[in-house]
Structure 1
Amino acid sequence: MIPANETFAGTFPFAPHFTEAPGFRMHYVDEGPRDGEIILCLHGEPTWGYLFRHLISTLSRAHRVVVPDHMGFGKSETPIGRSYWLQDHVANLEAFMLALGLTDITLVMHDFGGPVGMGLAARHPDRIRRIISANGPTPFGQPDSMERGVANAAVSPWFQWILKAEADGTLEPVLNNLGYNILSTLKLNGFENNAIIDDTWLDAYGAPFATAAECLGALGWAKGFATGAHQFEVPDAAAKRIISGKPSLAIWGEADRTLHAEHFLPLFSALFPSAPIERLPGVGHYCFEDAPETISGLIADFLQGT
């Protein structure tokens, strides 16, 4: 686990906060005015709150930006004896939200932060104000969600590798050393901004996975996909009606090699048929790293306009 006060040479200068509400020591950033609108940023695999550092700096001038690290990621604890499936992360986020008393929430979701955030929305639709998906799927009970996931996996190098590695027994040996192969993992998924790679950046993304015991979160997400252990939250009719009426925005880096727009943007449009979609050529899966200024600007404009 990363030391609480680690700033990675000042690139992550935000005060650490912790809660035990989900049953483990969960780290989160909480920046901006206490009475500001709440922006809840949810990371995916294999990242942590560091992914949102530029967005935090931009939005926290006028908004309260809350960025938790999921169990097993970032500065959060990686407890032994817990399962790391999607439904566990949704339950953890729910406990976190209730403990902090968060309401009127704008969700900003990346990668598996998408299904985690949509799971929270299914359980507490009245606490959600807006939905922003940035290269993050938004499954919300659509009957074709699984079919689209399977079709995407057929053309995604990351998911193809997960299925093969689980079958031949190499998934755990590789991901248990994620701290050493973090760059190849990011590149496989679709990371394009090579100019920002330096020792500090590599340390920030590799540090959460220094030992095999600290890789349970990253391993759990991949293994859950390969084995079908992830359970997607299915909203009731009232929750679906409430959420589909919220202001929403999709931002999609088109160089994403893991989550292809043709398979996942239709999920978003089915739920939010009139919502804008911003497609970014040349931007990869880790869009907050590839185009931080562009995406921060798009989100800030959307918040102001809604």
Structure 2
Amino acid sequence: MYRRTFLELMAGTFALCVLPGCAGRAGQAGGSSLGVGHAEGPLDAAAYRAERRYLETRFGRIAYLERGTGDAALFLHGFPLNSFQWRGSIERLSPFRRCVAPDFMGLGYTEVAQGQSYAPAEQVAMLVTLLDRLSISTVDLVANDSGGAIAQLFLAHHPDRVRTVLLTNCDVETECPPAAVLPVIEMARKGTYVDQWLAPWLADKVLARSDQGIGGMTYTRPAELSDETIEYYFAPLVRSQRGRDQVHAYTLALEANSLAGIGPALAKSTVPTRILWGTGDTIFSQSSADHLDKAFGNSRGVRRIPGARLFFPEEYPDLIAEEARALWGVR
């Protein structure tokens, strides 16, 4: 998922500039003075590229998308995806929230600063900087997969900045990382993960959708995984050395249990938390849903999605929007 594409979104006489130095809300790099948050319409790959913004920080040049106004919702994507994962949910929820979806350091179109750590705790610090620069004080968290681990860390360390949490299949303290990810970590250590998995999927979209590809591993309906989606996810990771190095660094940062000892912080949390769990997931254990339900001090229970696999939030945006609006108390 990598390599930035420099695009400008032309709307009448206004141009949305994504290059450094362009004025935007809260001083972010990229974005027009009108604000991309007001954009409407389908978020296909072309629209997502056009609306993508960048923020220069000490962590690097952070890529993110923003739509909507009012209270903010922060969408945290899975591995090895990027914020494009949440496009359908953002389309449906931007009338009710200011939706912000960043690409984590090491994934997507974010360009990481030299020497910067990719550890989950540093991802949290990056998110805090992003929110501060966008003048966002509190958020509703929506997360999937490794983004769910980062959401838990964000809540544990910044409980006053979180209104609600909506978690889907993700790491838990007793399964972080899951056993299925260990071979991927080992490939990243050898520098072969991109060449063995991601590059072949990008080159052969049919393979990507097959049982040997990301489709068969993590999607409920892999045949519906479009060529443009595969391209958007994997091109920036495969087609430059910087992208390859960054995704390997992100993968290696998953090795340590970033959630070790988080139990007491989650237990004392009063933040309303809802858990959606796909029962077809072969990456995370089904028992992890019950673990999360018991772990949070204010859990609103678990909803199991029959047969749904790890990346079901991308496939079922109506379900995500339904549950988010119920949790947020908006109709």
TM-score strictly above 0.5 = yes
Matching residue within 87, 104, 121 for 2:155: 121
Gaps of 5+ in 2: 9-42, 203-207
**Structure (1 or 2) with the greater strand fraction:** 2
1:28 is aligned, of 64, 74, 91, to 64
**Is 1:257–1:284's contact at 8 Å kept on the other side of the alignment?**
yes
Partner in structure 2 of residue 173 of structure 1: 192
Aligned match of 1:191: 219
Alignment of 1:183-222 (within 5 A): 183=208, 184=212, 186-187=214-215, 189-209=217-237, 210-222=239-251
The structure whose RCO (Cα within 8 Å, separation 6+) is larger is: 1
Consecutive unaligned residues of structure 1, counting only runs of 5 or more, are: 140-144
Match of 1:89 in 2: 123
Q: Distance in 2 between matches of 1:121 and 1:4?
A: 34
- Structure-2 separation of matches of 1:79 and 1:179: 24
Residues 78, 215 of structure 1: CA spacing in aligned structure 2 closer, same or farther, 3 A cutoff? farther
Aligned residue for 2:200, secondary structure, equals: coil
Distance 2:266 2:292 in 1: 13
Match of 1:101 among 130, 135, 141: 135
Contact map agreement 2:96 2:330 (CA 8 A) in 1: no
Give the secondary-structure state (helix, strand or coil) at the position aligned to 2:214.
helix
Distance 2:220 2:68 in 1: 30
User: Who is 1:142 aligned against?
Assistant: none
Secondary structure at the counterpart of residue 89 of structure 2: helix
Distance in 1, Cα, partners of 2:317 & 2:89: 7
Distance in 1 (alpha carbons) for counterparts of 2:80 and 2:322:
25
Letter paired with 1:190? T
Distance 2:293 2:101 in 1: 23
Q: C-alpha deviations, 1:143-174, integer Å up to 9, x for none? A: xx24x447x52xx3xx25236646xx6x5212
How far 1:108 moved relative to its partner? 0.4
C-alpha displacement at 1:127, in angstroms? 1.1
Aligned equivalents of 1:68 and 1:274: distance in 2?
26
For residues 1-306 of structure 1, what are the structure 2 equivalents within 5 Å? 1-5=3-7, 10=46, 12=48, 15-33=51-69, 36-137=70-171, 139=172, 145-146=173-174, 148-149=175-176, 152-153=178-179, 156=180, 159-162=181-184, 165=187, 171-176=190-195, 178-181=198-201, 183=208, 184=212, 186-187=214-215, 189-209=217-237, 210-226=239-255, 228=256, 231-232=258-259, 240=266, 244-272=269-297, 274-304=299-329
Offset at residue 71 of structure 1 (A): 1.4
Residues 79, 181 of structure 1: CA spacing in aligned structure 2 closer, same or farther, 3 A cutoff?
Answer: farther
TM-score (norm 1): 0.81
User: Alpha carbons of 1:164 and 1:18: their partners in 2 closer, same or farther (altered >3 Å)?
Assistant: closer
Size of the alignment, in residue pairs? Answer: 285
Q: 1:198 to 1:44 in 2, by over 3 A?
A: closer
Q: How far apart, in 2, do the equivalents of 1:188 and 1:212 lie?
A: 27
Task: Say if 2:107 and 2:250, in contact at 8 Å, map to a contact too.
Answer: no
RMSD: 2.9
1:152-205 residue CA offsets vs partner (Å, 9 max, x unmatched): 52xx3xx25236646xx6x52123562433635523642121232232122111
What TM-score comes out, normalization by structure 2 length? 0.75
What letter is aligned with 1:286? F
Q: Give the AA of the match of 2:229.
A: W
Q: Aligned partners of 2:309, 2:143: CA distance in 1, in Å?
A: 15
**Superimposed CA distance per residue, residues 233-270 of structure 1 (whole angstroms, 9 cap, x where no aligned partner):** 86696x6566x211111111111111122135413422
The residue that corresponds to 2:40 in the other structure is: none
Q: 1:22 to 1:69 in 2, by over 3 A?
A: farther
Q: Which moved more, 1:36-45 or 1:205-214?
A: 205-214
Residues 188, 221 of structure 1: alpha-carbon distance in 2 compared, 3 angstrom cutoff: farther
Distance 2:267 2:316 in 1: 33
User: Identity over aligned residues, as a percent?
Assistant: 23
Q: Give the letter for the 1:18 counterpart.
A: Y
**C-alpha contact (below 8 Å) 1:249/1:275 kept by paired residues:** yes
In structure 2, relative to structure 1, the CA distance for the partners of 1:187 and 1:57 (3 Å cut) is same
Does structure 2 retain, via aligned residues, the 8 Å contact 1:249–1:277? yes
